Amino acid sequence: MSFKAGMVQLRSSTDPARNVKDASALIRSAASQGARFVSTPEMTNLFEPDRERLKAITRPEAEDLAVKGFSELAAKLGIWLHIGSLALKSEGDKLANRTLLFSPEGKIVARYDKIHLFDVDLANGEVYRESASYTGGQAAVVVETPLAPFGLTICYDVRFPALHRALAMAGAKVLLVPAAFTVPTGKAHWHVLLRARAIETGSFVIAAAQGGTHDSGRETFGHSKVIGPWGEVICECGTDPDYKVFEIDVAQADAARAKIPNLRHARDFDVKTVSAA
């Protein structure tokens, strides 16, 4: 099974309406070139580092204007639309960092809440405490579509190989890694992490990202990438808003897994700690 897919790179702002408009324009461009599936980055609807303002302007999924807008867009274009993630109100005073997959009829057919939350202090002084605003998800998700079985992840999840292996073992052949990587970590790790997840699972990886200096002053790495199941880079963006259209031949994932059948060779094992003192 082969199909044309699209990947959108954004520079989302603190204005949700503007973000939906900008994302929609690039999604339309990809669809106009034949993409039947389009993927967008993490935080497509809102890139707002101020915690209190973030909580003040987010809405529950059922009331969010971005959800409504992207549902209508998917139906109008007749495409599978993967919104990498949206900031949405959840339970209590916490938010959900949530992926939504819309069918060509505009229906939400899959949801995934980011499991691994990014809490770090970077050497350049930047501090991130995703857990202060968001509640982590509890379940990994594989969604079977007529195009391909997709495994859903978000950004920091890429550093957890066990998640991607579990998705592949459950049938995923295309792993989706929408992201908003920082510049320091992006320069050091983005490329190699994506290739590693593709190679070790024999999967396509589509990683739509945020890129550039946002109106909040924060910078993201960009360099959205598509990686093939053998680890080859199929296409890549720079740091500006952009889109790419490319071919996904799902049979290539089967071929890669036949050459290196490590998914079938996994064995349970114990870990022993031995003291040499």
- Output b/e per residue, 82-95; b: 16+ Cβ within 10 A: bbbbbbbbbeeeeb
Q: Given the structure tokens 């669809």, which residue do they identify?
A: 31
Domain presence at residue 276 = no
What is the mean pLDDT of the segment spanning 199-221?
Answer: 97
DSSP 64: -
What is the mean pLDDT of the segment spanning 12-23?
Answer: 97
Domain presence at residue 270 = no
pLDDT at residue 36, as a whole number: 98
* 131 pLDDT more than 90: no
Q: What's the domain count of the chain?
A: 1
pLDDT, averaged across the chain: 95
The residue ranges of DSSP E strands in the chain, in sequence order, are 2-9, 37-39, 80-89, 95-102, 108-113, 119-121, 127-129, 141-144, 149-152, 174-176, 204-207, 211-213, 219-221, 225-227, 233-236, 242-249
> Residue 133 corresponds to which amino acid?
S
Supply the CATH number for residue 40's domain: 3.60.110.10
Domain presence at residue 201 = yes
pLDDT digits (tens, 9 = 90+) for 215-260: 999 999 999 999 999 999 999 999 999 999 999 999 999 999 999 9
pLDDT at residue 183, as a whole number: 95
What is the mean pLDDT of the segment spanning 143-166?
Answer: 98
Of the listed 42, 48, 219, 236, which one is catalytic?
42
* 200 pLDDT more than 90: yes
pLDDT at residue 132, as a whole number: 80
Please give the residue range of the domain that contains residue 220: 2-265
**φ/ψ (deg, to 5) at 132:** -70, -25
Domain presence at residue 272 = no
Known catalytic membership, residue 42: yes
* 123 pLDDT more than 90: no
Of the listed 48, 89, 114, 225, which one is catalytic?
114
* 126 pLDDT more than 90: no
* 91 pLDDT more than 90: no
pTM above 0.75, yes or no: yes
pLDDT at residue 18, as a whole number: 97
Of the listed 48, 89, 155, 236, which one is catalytic?
155
Known catalytic membership, residue 144: no
Secondary structure class of 71 (helix, strand, coil) = helix
Known catalytic membership, residue 114: yes
